[in-house]
Amino acid sequence: MNDLAGLTAVVTGGNQGIGLSMAIGMAKAGANIAVWGRNPDRNRDAAAQIEGHGVKAVPVTCDVGDEAQVEDAMERTVGELGPLGCFVANAGLAGNVPLVETSLAQWHEVLRTNLDGAFLCSRAAARRFVAQDGGGSIVIVSSMVSRYGASNQAAYATSKTGLLGLGRTLAVELARYRVRTNILVPGWTRTAMNTDLRLNDRFMEATTTRTPLRRWASADEFEEIAAFLADPRLEFHTGNEVVVDGGYSIF
């Protein structure tokens, strides 16, 4: 059982899907949670749901691609919840556009959130951890698409692959400060982001058949994984890609 009592954790994009489930998982283990997201109403709803587990939750409106907003969000978070213990860089956008039709603006929109945002947020977290001198955990949320090609997903796949390099670098560079960095690689998971994909019966059959468990994950299956990755007792666990895909990548 992971014990996160009193830990302060941030989850970007923590107001829905995998991000919200990770926040709930850490809350169930005792962590106080800051939910960072661009939609204030969803942030508040998520915070209320998280507080139902007996912890404190703070909704923070933040565009992770905006440097000033990230810095302000971090100041507010530690001001209200105390020293940072875990930071989950989860916020992301998907673009379902054929490569030949992808504009530079569409490309930049996805990378701004998925890659630039993860950089800005992990840098802010790293600075805080170094200043606190008490160790900590960073979790970078990538995607199984980082391993395979994906039609109509050039920007998304590129951003998620870039996160692997970011996460590995952070693991090496921050180890001297006792800051662990691990990369979560989810497989096919039912979220609002892929509602349109799940309307395609042929696609669902193909992806389900290739998954040894013969199903997609539900977002709540990431609750305990989040608590594990945040646990400060796991000092030697860093630089790891934690693949949660029902066996898809080995089949």
Report the pLDDT value the prediction gives residue 150, as an integer from 0 to 100: 83
CA dihedral angle for residue 37, residue 41, residue 47, residue 48, rounded to 10 degrees: -170
pLDDT in tens, 36-89: 999 999 999 999 999 999 999 999 999 999 999 999 999 999 999 999 999 999
Token duo for residue 73: 């969000």
Report the pLDDT value the prediction gives residue 54, as an integer from 0 to 100: 97
- Give me the mean pLDDT over the 17-23 stretch: 97
Q: What angle do CA 111, 116, 119 make, to 5 degrees?
A: 140
Q: Which of 44, 128, 96, 79 is nearest to 203 (CA)?
A: 96
Percent of the chain whose predicted confidence (pLDDT) is above 70? 100
Token duo for residue 147: 């391993």
- Statement: residue 91 has pLDDT above 90: yes
Q: What angle do CA 73, 74, 76 make, to 5 degrees?
A: 65
- Statement: residue 118 has pLDDT above 90: yes
Rounded CA separation 139/244 (Å)? 14
156 is known as an active-site residue: yes
**What confidence category does residue 177 fall into, taking pLDDT thresholds of 50, 70 and 90?**
very high
Report the pLDDT value the prediction gives residue 192, as an integer from 0 to 100: 84
Rounded CA separation 230/7 (Å)? 9
- Could you give the 3-state DSSP secondary structure of residue 14? coil
Average pLDDT over the chain reads 96
Contact criterion met (CB below 8 Å) for 42 and 71: no
The domains of the chain, with CATH numbers, are 8-189+220-243 (3.40.50.720)
- Statement: residue 149 has pLDDT above 90: no
Phi, psi angle pair for 138, to nearest 5°: -115, 135
Rounded CA separation 122/115 (Å)? 11
Report the pLDDT value the prediction gives residue 82, as an integer from 0 to 100: 98
Contact criterion met (CB below 8 Å) for 100 and 148: no
Report the pLDDT value the prediction gives residue 199, as an integer from 0 to 100: 87
- Give me the mean pLDDT over the 172-200 stretch: 93
**The residue type at 61:** T
- Statement: residue 1 has pLDDT above 80: no
Rounded CA separation 134/86 (Å)? 11
- Statement: residue 2 has pLDDT above 90: no
**What confidence category does residue 202 fall into, taking pLDDT thresholds of 50, 70 and 90?**
very high
- Give me the mean pLDDT over the 177-193 stretch: 94
DSSP calls for 200-234: -HHHHHHHHHHSTTSSPEEGGGGHHHHHHHH-TT-
Rounded CA separation 100/66 (Å)? 28
- Statement: residue 168 has pLDDT above 80: yes
- Statement: residue 194 has pLDDT above 90: no
Token duo for residue 58: 């703070």
What beta strand segments (E) does the chain contain?
8-12, 32-37, 57-61, 84-89, 136-141, 179-186, 189-190, 217-218, 241-244
Report the pLDDT value the prediction gives residue 242, as an integer from 0 to 100: 97
How many C-beta neighbours within 10 Å does residue 139 have?
A: 25
**What confidence category does residue 22 fall into, taking pLDDT thresholds of 50, 70 and 90?**
very high
Alpha-carbon distances of 122 from 114, 151, 195, 220, rounded to whole Å: 12, 29, 29, 24
